[in-house]
Structure formats: structure tokens, C-alpha cells
Amino acid sequence: MFRNRDFLSKKTWGPQPSYPNVIAKKGKFDKLLIIAGPCSVESHEQVDKVVPVLVDNGISYARGGVYRAGTYPREDFGLRPELASYWSKSCREKNLKVVMEILDIRLIETFDSWSDAFQVGARHMQDYPLLVELARSKKPVLLKRNMGATLDEFLGAAEYLARGRCSPILVERGSATHENHSRWTQSDSMIAAVKRMTGIPILVDASHANGRRDLVHPLTMSGLAAGADGFIVETHPEPDKSLSDADQAYPLDGLGDLIADAKNLMELRKSWRPAC
């Protein structure tokens, strides 16, 4: 029978992992961590509609892509500094913290001025120079699991962050698998294993992990049931008109119910009694 943190250290097959700082690090979050906002920050008008709803729902961090890694180069996700700055200012004026994905090590200073936390996207999970630089920051750094990364590779990348001053937060965002009913396949097992082995918080991102808006609610709940400390949800005032990831955009007016259901599940979770 495997017990908590001994799981990987006792195994005799595969890579022999070494991530002492990840194992030792303790998460700071004792409440449900909720990160919500649009896939992309699109316009002043969209910002003005979204921000008040995020504030009303008491979320922890507003998310919104301002410089994104498009799967295809024809998608124009170039940085629009004026819009990024407007988004950041609008959130902060309402005491809403901002998390932004950072793609490029050369832009750390610029993004540092706009955001209260950094996000390393799935495609950059193993961009080690970027991780080393971000680890110097005192801000939280979200690390998304690459769609092909094993638990060992995920925690190895997290170790780069955990050796620094930042507070790493892991994110499960799905793998590429044989399944074709969803864009990616969410690994709740990854979440449960991380919780057994480490003190680092991990979030479920059911939006990216599934790519389908109708799966966001059930798979947010399954990720939380597996032990996630919170969740990320992409939301849009008019989901079908979302300029990126429209298929997974969750209706902004459904956010309150999603959060209420998540909080109920977290209450229920307190009473669970796993034997090992």
C-alpha cells in the first residue's frame, strides 16, 4: 500500500525523481482559490462588462490573455499594451488581483507591472530559463502541466520554481490522448497524486482540460473531488462571440452558481475519511 509522499520515492521503476523543495513547500491558500475571466482580453467594452461580475463573485484572481500562444500562427494574439494596461488598471481599481500568462522572458518586467501573479502556459512548462527567472519573483507563479507531461516531469518543472522565492501553484489542464470527444483529457489522478505527495497547491482548469463548455461544471467538480485547492474557469459575457476558445467559454451569468456548487463540494470534502 502506498502512503502519501512515499509514493514515488518507494517505486523501483522509471525515473528516480528529485524535487525536495516541491515536497517541502507549503501552499499559502487555506480557502478555495478561484481564477476566472475571459480567454483573451478583447476590448474595453468586454473588460467593463466582465470586471464587475468577477468582483461581485469574490474571485481570487482575474485572468485574461493579453499575449497568448496561439496553436496556429494565423491567429493574431499579439500584445496590445494599451489594452493590457486598461485590463490591469480596471481590475486593480476594484481590488481584484490579476494573473497574466507570460510567454517571453524578455517581457517579465512589463508583465510584472501589470500583474499580481504570473502564469506559465502549458506550452512553456519546460521553458527552464523562464522558470528560473520567474522563481526570483515574490509573486505566485501558476505552472500549467504540459499536455504531454508525466507527473515526474510536472514536478521536476515545479522544482525550478520551488527553489526560488515565488509561491508555485500547479494547474492540471489536460493531456493529449486517444479521446476525441473533448479537446484534451483532464487527469484527476494527477491532481490526487500531487496532493498526496506535495504541499504545493494545485488547481483544476476544466476549461482548457476539456475544451467544452458543457463539461466545465462537472469536471470542475471532479477535479475538486480529487483534491484540487481551487479552479480556473474561462468565462465570457457572450460565449459564442469569444475571439478565442469560444467552445469552452462558460457563460458569465453562470459563474455565481458554479462557485456556489464548488463551495458546497468543498464543505462536503471536509467530512471524507480516506483510509490511506
Q: Give the whole-angstrom CA distance, residue 7 versus residue 15.
A: 13
208 binds ligand PEP (CB under 6 A): yes
Comparison of 144 and 195: residue with beta carbon closer to ligand PEP: 144
Q: Give the whole-angstrom CA distance, residue 252 versus residue 270.
A: 28
Amino acid type, 164? G
230 binds ligand PEP (CB under 6 A): no
Asked if 268 and 224 count as a contact pair (C-beta separation under 8 A), the reply is no
121 binds ligand PEP (CB under 6 A): yes
- Nearest approach, Cβ of residue 248 and Mn ion (Å): 7
List, as one string, the DSSP characters of 100-117.
Answer: EE---GGGHHHHHHH-SE
Comparison of 17 and 174: residue with beta carbon closer to ligand PEP: 174
39 binds Mn ion (CB under 5 A): yes
Residues 34, 39, 221, 259: which binds ligand PEP (CB under 6 A)?
Answer: 39
CA distances to 21, 64, 183, 209 from 186, rounded to whole Å, are 26, 21, 10, 5
Which residues have a Cβ under 8 Å from the Cβ of 25 and sit 6 or more positions away? 162, 167, 168, 198, 199, 200
Residues 17, 37, 38, 65: which binds ligand PEP (CB under 6 A)?
Answer: 65
236 binds ligand PEP (CB under 6 A): no
Binding to Mn ion in span 135-164, by CB under 5 A = none
Question: Considering only 20-28, 46-54, 90-98, 120-128, which stretch makes contact with ligand PEP by CB under 6 A?
Answer: 120-128
CB atoms within 10 A of CB 200: 25
Comparison of 159 and 245: residue with beta carbon closer to Mn ion: 245
CA distances to 37, 76, 98 from 61, rounded to whole Å, are 9, 25, 5
- Nearest approach, Cβ of residue 201 and Mn ion (Å): 21
Question: What H or E segment, with its residue span, contains residue 202?
Answer: strand 202-205
Residues 36, 37, 245, 259: which binds Mn ion (CB under 5 A)?
Answer: 245
- Nearest approach, Cβ of residue 65 and ligand PEP (Å): 5
CA distances to 113, 156, 167, 188 from 14, rounded to whole Å, are 42, 14, 28, 21
Binding to ligand PEP in span 130-149, by CB under 6 A = 144
- Nearest approach, Cβ of residue 119 and ligand PEP (Å): 6
Which residues have a Cβ under 8 Å from the Cβ of 44 and sit 6 or more positions away? 83, 86
Question: Considering only 109-117, 118-126, 157-165, 222-230, which stretch makes contact with ligand PEP by CB under 6 A?
Answer: 118-126
Which chain residues interact with ligand PEP by CB under 6 A?
39, 65, 68, 101, 121-123, 144, 173, 208
Which chain residues interact with Mn ion by CB under 5 A?
39, 245
